[in-house]
Structure 1
Amino acid sequence: MELSIGDELPDITLADQDGAWIKLRDFANQPVVVFFYPKDNTPVCNIEACEFEAHYNDLKNAGVKVFGISKDSVSSHKKFATRFHLEYRLLSDVKGEAEQKFGVGRKLFGLLQNRVTFIFGKGGKLIHTIHAQFNGRRHVDETLSVLNIETGSH
C-alpha cells in the first residue's frame, strides 16, 4: 500500500550511482524528495531526470535532498548520471525493497514501475505525492510549487 500523507520516510539503505550506501532516514531533518522512475535512458525518464537537474541548485539552496530511485543497477545509474551530468543521487533498488516500502505500484501487467514522487517535510513526514506516468516535467514543477521554491533557472 502506498505511503499516505503524514507517514514517515521509510528506513531503507540503497547504493547510489557511485556504490556508496545511502540511508534515507539520515536526511529526515530536512525536506526530502524521492522520485521513483521506471528506467534509465528512456524518453520520459530522461526528461524527468534532466528537469530535476535543471532545478537542482534551487532545491539544494532551499535545503532539499533529492533522490531518484529505479530498479536499474549501480552501473546503469552511473552511466545515466554521467550522460546527463546529474548532481543528485540515483539509488539502485534492484531487489524492489524501496518500491515495496514506499508502496509504489506497477503498470502494464507488472512490468513497468509507476512514476511517483514523494515529498517529505522537515521531520521526515510525507507532505505530498505526485503521480504522472507520462509527464516527467510535472513532477519537478509540482515539487517546486509544493515546497514554495523560487526558481532561478529554466
Structure 2
Amino acid sequence: MELKVGDKIPNFKAKDSNGNDFDSQTLVGLKPIVVYFYPKDNTPGCTAQACSFRDQYEDFKDLGAEVIGISGDSVASHQEFTNHYKLPFILLSDPDKKIRKLFGVATQLFGLVPGRVTYVADKNGVIQMIFDSMLAAKHIPKALKTIKELA
C-alpha cells in the first residue's frame, strides 16, 4: 500500500551513514522533512540528485526542514558516498527494503530498479507532496517549492 498526500509519515528506524541508529520520531512531527528514496549510491542520476540536494541544503535548513535520503545500499557505501560528495544531510541504509515497502515505493523498469520518489511532509508529519519520477534533477526544485509554501 503506497502512502498518499494527507497520510502521516510512518515511524521507521535505520542505520545512518555513520552506523548510528536513526529513529524517524526524532524528526517527523517536529519539523518539515523531505524523505527521498533513490536507487543506488554512486550512479550518475543518484549522484546528481544527492549533489543537488547538497547544493540546496542550506535553503531547506533556512526554512526549518531536514532532508533524508534512503536507499538499499550498505552503511559503508553510504559513508563513502557521503564523504566523497560531502553530503550534509542524513542518508539511511534500507538493505531489506522495509522502509521502501512501508512507504509503498514501487520498483521501476520491469521491477529491476528501485523507484525514485520524494515525499515532503509538514511539521506535523503529514505528507503534502509526493513526486515519483526517475528524472533525478526534477526532485529538488519540487521539494524546495513545497517546503517554501509550508514556511
How far has the Cα of 1:25 moved from its partner? 2.4
Could you tell me whether the CA contact under 8 Å between 1:10 and 1:25 is conserved in 2? no
Aligned residue in 2 for 1:77: 78
- TM-score by structure 2 length? 0.95
Residue 145 of structure 1: how far off its partner (Å): 1.0
**Counterparts of 1:32 and 1:148, CA distance in 2:** 12
Partner Cα distance (1:146, 1:108) in 2: 28
Matched, 1:107 2:111: no
State the alpha-carbon separation in 1 of the partners of residues 127 and 26 from structure 2. 15
- Cross-structure match for 2:90: 89
Partner of 2:147: 147
Which 5+ residue runs of structure 2 have no aligned equivalent?
none
Q: Superposition pairs for residues 122-141 of structure 1, below 5 Å?
A: 122-133=123-134, 135-141=135-141
Q: Which amino acid aligns with 2:145?
A: S
Quote how far apart the aligned CAs of 1:59 are. Answer: 0.6
Gap runs ≥5 in structure 1: 150-154
Aligned-pair identity (%): 38
Answering whether residue 62 of structure 2 is matched by residue 52 of structure 1, we say no
Counterpart AA for 1:141: P
Task: Specify the alignment match of 2:119 in structure 1.
Answer: 118
Q: Which residue of 2 aligns with 1:20?
A: 20
Q: CA RMSD in A?
A: 1.0
Q: How many residues matched?
A: 148
The Cα offsets for residues 39-92 of structure 1, whole Å up to 9 and x where unpaired, read as 000010011000000000111111101100000000000000111000101000
Q: 3-state DSSP class of the match of 1:57?
A: helix
Once residues 59 and 148 of structure 1 are traced to their aligned partners in structure 2, the CA distance between those partners, rounded to angstroms, is 8
Write the distance in 2 (CA, Å) between the matches of 1:85 and 1:39.
17
Task: Give the Cα separation in 1 of the matches to 2:11 and 2:56.
Answer: 26
Letter in 2 for 1:140: I
SS at match of 1:83: helix
1:139 partner amino acid: H
TM-score by length of 1: 0.93
Residue number in structure 1 paired with 2:8? 8
SS at match of 2:92: strand
The CA deviation at 1:108 is: 2.5
CA contact (8 A) 1:25 1:124 kept: no
Is the contact between residue 63 and residue 148 of structure 2 (CA under 8 Å) also seen in structure 1?
Answer: no
Misfit runs of 4+, over 6 Å: none
Match of 2:38 in 1: 37
Question: CA–CA distance in 2 between the matches of 1:9 and 1:96?
Answer: 16
